[in-house]
Structure 1
Amino acid sequence: MVAETESKQRLHLVFGGELKSLDGAEFADPSKLDLVGVFPDYASALKAWQGRAQQTVDNAAMRYFIVHMHRLLDPELP
């Protein structure tokens, strides 16, 4: 049993891919998305996002995102 004082998990997904246009967030080929991983907290997700985004800095159409999975799983969480 989990103690009530223990904080809930706040999972984050980091992924990215090449966009169709720099003006939107629609991917050119969703089958080629780069799934970086799922992380237990925002800080580690941000570190992974920064690392992957830095690797693709030469491609202006490449974008990476952090998805707050915990908000999808439990909308009551901040």
Structure 2
Amino acid sequence: MSLLHLVFGGRVKDPRNLEFDDLSKLDIIGFFPDYASAERAWRGAAQRTVDDAEMRYVIVHLHKLLEPK
């Protein structure tokens, strides 16, 4: 079974939390079959916006949402 991961990000209202400013402007990086490839994609996206404190990228473990234990 693939461990499905989603990488996305966008501008947040406050850099101390994950409340996104405008959901219609989220940057969807993609879906990945394992954490390692998701992390590489996340690092690339996060490093492109490293100087903008209001931009946040996250990895969501979709496999945990689809099949909670």
**Amino acid of the residue matched to residue 41 of structure 1?**
D
**Identity, % of aligned positions:** 61
**Mapping for residues 39-54 of structure 1, pairs under 5 Å:** 39-54=32-47
For structure 2, list consecutive stretches of 5 or more residues without a partner in the other structure: none
Please report the TM-score for the alignment, with normalisation by the length of structure 1.
Answer: 0.85
Q: Which has the higher contact order (CA 8 A, sep 6+)?
A: 2
Larger radius of gyration: 1
Q: Secondary structure at the residue paired with 1:52?
A: helix
Equivalent of residue 24 in structure 2, options 31, 34, 45: 31
Q: Secondary structure at the residue paired with 1:70?
A: helix
For structure 1, list consecutive stretches of 5 or more residues without a partner in the other structure: 1-7
Aligned residues: 69
Where in structure 1 do 4 or more consecutive aligned residues deviate above 3 Å? Answer: none
